[in-house]
Amino acid sequence: MLNRHRNFIFIFVLVSFAACSNIKYLPKGESLYIGAEVKIESDSLKKNEEKAIKAELNGLLRPKPNSTFLGLRPKLFAYNIAGTPKKPKGLRNWLKNKIGEPPVLASALDLHKNQEILQNRLENKGYFQAVLTGDTTSKNRKVKAEYRAAPGPQYLISSVKFPADSAELERAVTATADKSLLKVGEPYNLDVIKGERERIDFSLKEKGFYYFGPNYLLVKVDSTIGKHKVDLFVSVKPEVPAIARQAYKIGEIYIYPNFNLAQTEPDTSKADAVLFEGFYVVDKDSIFKPSVFKRSMFFNSGELYNRKDHNLSLHRLTTIGSFKFVKNRFEREGSAETPTLDAFYYLTPLPKKSLRGELLGTTKSNNNNGSELSLSWRNRNVFRGAEQLIIRGYGGFEIQVSGTQRGYNTYRLGTEATLSIPRFVVPLFDFNTTDRFVPRTIFTLGFELLNKQKLYSLNSFKAQAGYNWKENELKEHEVNLLSVNYVQPANVTQEYIDSIANDPTLEKSIEKQFVIGSTYSFTYNDQSEVTRKNNIYFNTNLDIAGNILGLATGADYRSNDTSTIFNARFSQYLRLDGDFRYYYRLGRNSWLANRIIAGVGYPYGNSFELPYIKQFFVGGSSSIRAFRARSVGPGTYRPDEVSGDDFFPDQSGDLKLELNTEYRTKLAGIVHGAVFLDAGNIWLFRDNPDPQKIKQGAKFTNEFISELAVGTGLGLRFDLSFLILRTDLAFPLRKPWLPEKERWVFNDIKFSDKTWRHDNLVFNLAIGYPF
């Protein structure tokens, strides 16, 4: 008890010292400004209205006091104890300038100015009879301000009148009245009036009034009609210049696709202009086909100018992928009776060809470390139609740096070619695509050699042909009409063959695989909308393979009547998976990130289970982090020979369920912290018909919830702007392979036990967030 009292006294003294020490460092005659409070005095306002007004007014007050934590000012304390650093670097300098903040003095407070600001804001909200008073209180060299606001009645809109003038501009303004933001019966609000001016200007820009602006509009207010109501009169200012009163049509359109910003006087002549379907292309070297710009230009000569087509044209030209800079200008032409705008587009191309190299380092929870070198060559205008050809070659390795089975290294070598064409090539149906984004037809060919030293090698070939397009800013689609994967094992060692004899499930990894079918992917992502408090990400994939071949051959594994192509049994299945993420913002620098992944593959016809390359896996740095990669499942199955470092996990399944939640918060500077909980497993759709290859407990049943693996842990993230370095330390809470009543392992957790730490703690080092 005595020790508790001593601890309490020590904390009390420390807190008191920190509080008092901030005052003693103040300049002579100065006081510390500790903040302000606004009190609302009104009998007519509802509680939620009063709360909203109070919060808004408090946000306008200046200066802002020093930040506090549990009633203390730790940043001010750090600033004070740092003193005056003698060196530009060092602990004192870091403490004073990075951690600390200077005192906010009472002399910086302008009480009268704050009163005027609050009064003005209330009047802008329709409280024309608001009364504001302010005063300060001082105690122990600390000054606090207090403001009392009596808003009075809020004035409502009685009527809204638009111009009755018959001039072209006034008629155009009046034509927008049916979509006005100013509503009869709503409170007067200056912000809404400003929004109304912007709305009218936007509408006029769609009707050819290129030189008009919102500042040319005036909304007069008559508050003398009584009963706390106002009449609003929308009008055009009399000083609007003549050019802003005219609606313009598009004249000639000129495109310069080889514009060089570096030249002192870039060539903008029209001498080499070639007319193509209504616009001129000035490209004397014929670098681009004119048809490239036909798909990007939304203006046509003779049409009224409108901002929508203006922005769409710029956006399309930017997203083609061949131009570094895109800008445009307009020139007034024509007569006063028929004014026109000539449009000029200046496009600065990116280098046609480029070479890029990447060197990556990897570390995995199974004690494998490695590296990968990648070289990619890009041609941004292969056939003069802004087509992009990327040829990539890569090679990498993974070496086990600890454990008893060193030397079982993995080497990877591959190449891939991708041709992206900025349009639909022979579309089979009408794609619903927004005009802002360039749709693409994509062809891909690739080959990879995977060599697991002392075990086996795999030769993999893939080919795809399909389309990618965006329905709008949030929704993206990808269809591969043809998707082919062919995997051929080679150099299978006797050691691995002997391992298969002990564990027949290992044979799955070296199966010959031939997959031919179609895929579809849909993604919804609103994370780019920074104004949203909470964000959603959703991705789903549909994969259908082998249907035509299955129908043609009549293959059926149940009757042992299977077929092969290229000496490999082709796969026949339907695979569907979904990834849903919900990011909930708890505060300015804290989030709760949640993810659910569910996937199911239904093999039939020529297949009794999914091919290995299409199966699901669980465990690892971006999955259930308390378990090593691919080490969980399927179901309650666990290979017999599992002993720590000797275990090479490679478990796969036809079904998957994974749930993750992670609390993320900023700690200091670039350092962010996280606490997470992961759960999940995989299962087989049906047992293998070969009794020697059955994985006991792997089949999906209605008991799947009780078979989930669960893990938790802590992590640090280092946000370096150009990348995020992530470290996670996790341990299991539930092991599904244990007997049903022993799967929860809370009682086994012993951080002080070296053996427990070796067997259960999993460290993950990765780049980027797990989800």
Q: Which of 431, 451, 450, 449 is nearest to 441 (CA)?
A: 431
What pLDDT was estimated at residue 25? Answer: 87
**Surface-to-core class of residue 407, CB atoms within 10 Å of its CB (0-12 exposed, 13-18 middle, 19+ buried):** exposed
Secondary structure of residue 204 in the 3-state scheme: helix
- Token pair, residue 521, equals 């992917």
Q: What is the mean pLDDT of the chain?
A: 87
Burial 528-564 (b: 16+ CB within 10 A, else e): eeeeeeebebbbbbebebbbebbeebebebeeeebbe
Q: Cα separation of 168 and 602, whole Å? A: 66
CB distance 413 to 425 below 8 Å: no
Binned at pLDDT 50, 70 and 90, residue 697 comes out as confident
Q: What is the DSSP string of 130-174?
A: -EEEEEEEEETTEEEEEEEEE--PPPEEEEEE-----SHHHHHHH
The predicted-structure confidence for 513-551, as pLDDT tens digits, reads as follows 889 999 999 999 998 776 677 899 999 999 999 888 877
What pLDDT was estimated at residue 400? Answer: 66
Q: Which of 646, 654, 476 is nearest to 574 (CA)?
A: 654
Q: Cα separation of 259 and 746, whole Å? A: 67
Q: Cα separation of 649 and 368, whole Å? A: 12
Bridge partners for 523 per DSSP: 476, 539
Comparing 548 with 745, which gets the higher pLDDT? 745
Q: Cα separation of 413 and 458, whole Å? A: 11
**What's at 566, amino acid-wise?**
F
Binned at pLDDT 50, 70 and 90, residue 645 comes out as very low
Q: β-pairing, 323-334 with 156-161?
A: unpaired
What is the DSSP-derived secondary structure letter of residue 405? -
The pLDDT of residue 9 is above 60? no
- Token pair, residue 215, equals 């500042």
What pLDDT was estimated at residue 664? Answer: 94
The predicted-structure confidence for 435-450, as pLDDT tens digits, reads as follows 778 889 999 999 999 9
Rounded average pLDDT over 140-168: 94
Angle between helices 2-24 and 74-82 (to 10 degrees): 70
Q: What is the DSSP string of 237-288?
A: -TT--GGGGS--EEEEEEEETT--TTSSS----STTEEEETTEEEE-TT--S
Angle between helices 111-124 and 47-58 (to 10 degrees): 140
What pLDDT was estimated at residue 427? Answer: 65
Q: Cα separation of 52 and 46, whole Å? A: 10
Binned at pLDDT 50, 70 and 90, residue 3 comes out as very low
> Residue 440 phi/psi, 5° resolution?
-135, 145
What pLDDT was estimated at residue 598? Answer: 96
The predicted-structure confidence for 703-725, as pLDDT tens digits, reads as follows 899 999 999 999 999 988 778 88
The pLDDT of residue 14 is above 50? no
Rounded average pLDDT over 392-403: 79
The pLDDT of residue 159 is above 90? yes
Q: Which residues, in sequence order, are CB contacts of 697 under 8 Å at separation 6+?
A: 635, 636, 637, 707, 737
Long-range contacts of 136-143 (CB under 8 A, 24+ apart): 136/106, 136/109, 136/111, 138/31, 138/106, 140/23, 141/23, 141/26, 141/30, 141/31, 141/32, 142/23, 142/31, 142/32, 142/34, 143/31, 143/32, 143/33, 143/34, 143/106, 143/109
Taken in order 381, 387, 389, 390, the sign of the CA dihedral is: positive
The predicted-structure confidence for 337-354, as pLDDT tens digits, reads as follows 889 999 999 999 999 999
Rounded average pLDDT over 646-657: 77
Residue that has been written with the tokens 């730490």 in this structure: 757
CB distance 626 to 730 below 8 Å: yes
| Alpha-carbon distances of 654 from 460, 560, 651, 700, rounded to whole Å | 21, 21, 11, 9
What pLDDT was estimated at residue 609? Answer: 81
The predicted-structure confidence for 447-499, as pLDDT tens digits, reads as follows 999 998 888 899 999 999 999 998 888 999 999 999 999 988 888 888 888 87
360-374, 626-640, 690-704: range with lowest mean pLDDT: 360-374
Comparing 593 with 363, which gets the higher pLDDT? 593
What pLDDT was estimated at residue 530? Answer: 67
Q: Cα separation of 217 and 97, whole Å? A: 47
What pLDDT was estimated at residue 419? Answer: 97
The pLDDT of residue 134 is above 90? yes
What is the DSSP-derived secondary structure letter of residue 404? S
Q: β-pairing, 339-349 with 249-256?
A: parallel
CB distance 266 to 259 below 8 Å: yes
Rounded average pLDDT over 253-264: 85
As a whole-number percent, the residues of the chain with pLDDT over 70 amount to 91
The predicted-structure confidence for 593-627, as pLDDT tens digits, reads as follows 999 999 999 988 888 888 888 899 999 888 999 99
CB distance 403 to 645 below 8 Å: yes
What pLDDT was estimated at residue 6? Answer: 46
Q: Where are the beta strands (DSSP E) in 404-492?
A: 410-421, 440-452, 456-470, 475-490
What pLDDT was estimated at residue 21? Answer: 63
- Token pair, residue 166, equals 């018959």
Bridge partners for 437 per DSSP: none
Cβ of 209: how many Cβ atoms within 10 Å?
26
The pTM of the full predicted model, rounded to 2 decimals, is: 0.75
CB distance 581 to 771 below 8 Å: yes
Binned at pLDDT 50, 70 and 90, residue 646 comes out as very low
Binned at pLDDT 50, 70 and 90, residue 430 comes out as low
What pLDDT was estimated at residue 663? Answer: 96
